[in-house]
Structure 1
Amino acid sequence: MFARLTKYRWQYTMIVPAVVLLFLFSYVPMVGIQVAFKDFHIGLTMWNSPWVGFENFSFLQDDQFWVVVGNTLYIAVLKFVFGFPAPIILALLINELRHTGFKRFVQSVSYLPHFFSWIVVAYMLQSLLTLDGGIVNQLIVNMGGEPVFFLGSTEWFRPMIVASGLWKEVGWNTILYLAAITTIDPQLYEAAKVEGAGKLAQMRSITLPGILPTISIVLILSMPSLIAVGMDQIYPLMNPANQPVADVLDTYILRSGLQQGYFGMATAVGLLSSIVSLILVLCTNQLSRKFNGEGLW
């Protein structure tokens, strides 16, 4: 063991800050889980608050909570169905570009939106989609249609969330797949060409199997997003008009905990969400290991 520590001392030194940050911001706050089982109010501490057992889990009998769960799952499934394969497809297409300068340009342009905050993206969407002077509604009117209240529409809110998420993150998420593609032996492609395989056949038989382990790892890591659909994206765009479809677990926790002062209930919702996310990760990892032999552990 000491020989291994000595051999890889610099690698271990480099990951120490990340381990410390993970411990401080992910494990130490877990002490606060006890608030889910206590009657916590401002003026008390989580140590001297009285225990109330499972009273804070009474939200499971609230119809509004299950509406929120439905909204969360609906948006999560849409984002997963469209968002998970999109960077894989984009990485495959970028990999086929032969002009180096154009390839770098496409990569840079696709990466750029990732560095915009969701507040900036929300402002851009409001500027584009607003009824008063929005470019999109102006185009609709010029083509003879009626303006659409996109920002307050329960029909357009979910497509808007999915589309903006794709635009912002699809390029950034291709980085892992492009890196995985570079590790594939070029001789495999040369052999495939000799056998008469076209681009699609090479992509299907060489590239996709070559990046399958990376796809499996990303799939496992993306499972918690089925519960946490991104409050930083949804909250700036949520308003009373679209709230029936925009209210998700994260906004429900924020509203219940910080705005209404039900700290115990908000903690209980967060705890339950974390348990479900953990179960999803464990199950996905087990299925991944069973079907292709790759997993996080």
Structure 2
Amino acid sequence: MANLAKAAQRTARLGEQRSIRSKLDYIHKNYFLYVLLAPALILTILFKYVPMYGAIIAFKDFSPLKGIWGSDWVGLKYFSKFLNSPNFTDIFFNTLKLSFYGLLLGFPVPILLAVMLNQIRKAGLKKNIQLVLYAPNFISVVVIVGMLFIFLSPTGPINQLIASVTGNPVIFMTEPEYFRSIYILSGIWQGAGWSSIIYVAALANVDPELHNAASLDGANLLQRIWHIDLPTIKPIMAIVFILAAGGIMSIGFEKAYLMQTSMNLPTSEIIPTYVYKVGLQSGNYAYSAAVGLFNSVINVVLLLTVNFIVKKLNEGEGLY
């Protein structure tokens, strides 16, 4: 028995050595692929993982003069301060509502655009429509917000139309109740066309024979879309939804900050703008780092939760 055990161990070691040798041979033969991968890998490490070192200041009473390691350790002091702050509930739920409503309203739009674009058979017309749909994505956020202030100003074209009917203009950019609608709808207009690209590419791989066979069997257009097109892009929809839900607390700072006024703060103050104000404007770096880290932890929890739920509902297909 001892001899058999030793033989088995030798066989296992030889198998491991062969496996390592085969992997090294593969890397040697395809070294150029790893050379191409190296810049992206290095940039990811430098700009995504190395900065994580700075998250330590969330647990310290950070002083620029003392440095990160020289500053006093305070543990969860700043996390507790944020959770117990009087405006925590408003900031947290403003962020959550803005992201949730944006996901709820914005997620189906690129899918609908892709399905409609897929039905256009004239290549020239399709390209022109795609150009119009994709163009807003390349407009700067600053320009978008400037356009919103111009169009929605008391003397802007929209208010001129409203005033001609009701007699009174609506001050959209200063009223808190309009902030979320303006933010979300303008975001959908700007990004929906660009987000539809991945679905358009997936639908291009659908075999036309499937549609022809379904048509011969009497299926109408909606039935073909429901039973052929949507199942084709279902895995992509799941991945995109998981990533979007996992980043539900990560709202772009620039647009919300640029759209803020002193009167719409009750609904426009969100975690990213709050971090900017307490961190860069007030110089409270440790507190802002704690708030940002809290936001990141919530995102990770949401990502894991949504991925678990989608895998259960999608027959084991998820992000990982």
Query: Could you tell me the TM-score, scaled by structure 1's length?
Result: 0.95
The 1:196–1:4 alpha-carbon spacing in structure 2 relative to 1, beyond 3 Å, is farther
1:236 aligns with 2:258: yes
Deviation at 1:193, TM superposition (A): 1.1
Partner residue of 1:272? 294
Partner residue of 1:294? 317
Partner residue of 1:222? 244
In the TM superposition, what are the counterparts of 1:1-297 in structure 2 within 5 Å?
Answer: 1-6=23-28, 8-57=30-79, 58-131=81-154, 133-292=155-314, 293-297=316-320
The 1:6–1:282 alpha-carbon spacing in structure 2 relative to 1, beyond 3 Å, is farther
- Which residue type is aligned with residue 128 of structure 1? F
Paired with 1:185 and 1:105, the residues of 2 have a C-alpha distance of 24
Query: Could you tell me the TM-score, scaled by structure 2's length?
Result: 0.89
Deviation at 1:89, TM superposition (A): 0.8
1:130-171 CA-partner distances (Å, limit 9, x unpaired): 12x311111222334311111101111110001110110000
- Which residue type is aligned with residue 67 of structure 2? T
Instruction: Indicate the larger mover: 11-20 or 49-58.
Output: 11-20
Unaligned runs of at least 5 residues, structure 2: 1-22
Deviation at 1:242, TM superposition (A): 0.5
Deviation at 1:205, TM superposition (A): 0.4
- Which residue type is aligned with residue 57 of structure 2? V
- Which residue type is aligned with residue 221 of structure 2? K
CA contact (8 A) 2:103 2:245 kept: no
Q: RMSD of aligned C-alpha atoms?
A: 1.4
- Which residue type is aligned with residue 203 of structure 1? I
1:169-204 CA-partner distances (Å, limit 9, x unpaired): 000000000011112222211211111111100000
CA contact (8 A) 2:136 2:190 kept: yes
CA contact (8 A) 2:153 2:159 kept: yes
CA contact (8 A) 2:246 2:304 kept: no
Unaligned runs of at least 5 residues, structure 1: none
CA contact (8 A) 1:122 1:237 kept: yes
Instruction: Indicate the larger mover: 4-13 or 260-269.
Output: 4-13
Deviation at 1:281, TM superposition (A): 1.2
Paired with 1:197 and 1:10, the residues of 2 have a C-alpha distance of 49
Using the aligned pairs only, state the percent identity.
Answer: 38
Paired with 1:289 and 1:196, the residues of 2 have a C-alpha distance of 34
Deviation at 1:26, TM superposition (A): 0.8
Instruction: Indicate the larger mover: 5-14 or 231-240.
Output: 5-14
Deviation at 1:7, TM superposition (A): 5.4
1:5-51 CA-partner distances (Å, limit 9, x unpaired): 34554443333222211111110000011101100133231121111
Task: State how many pairs are aligned.
Answer: 296
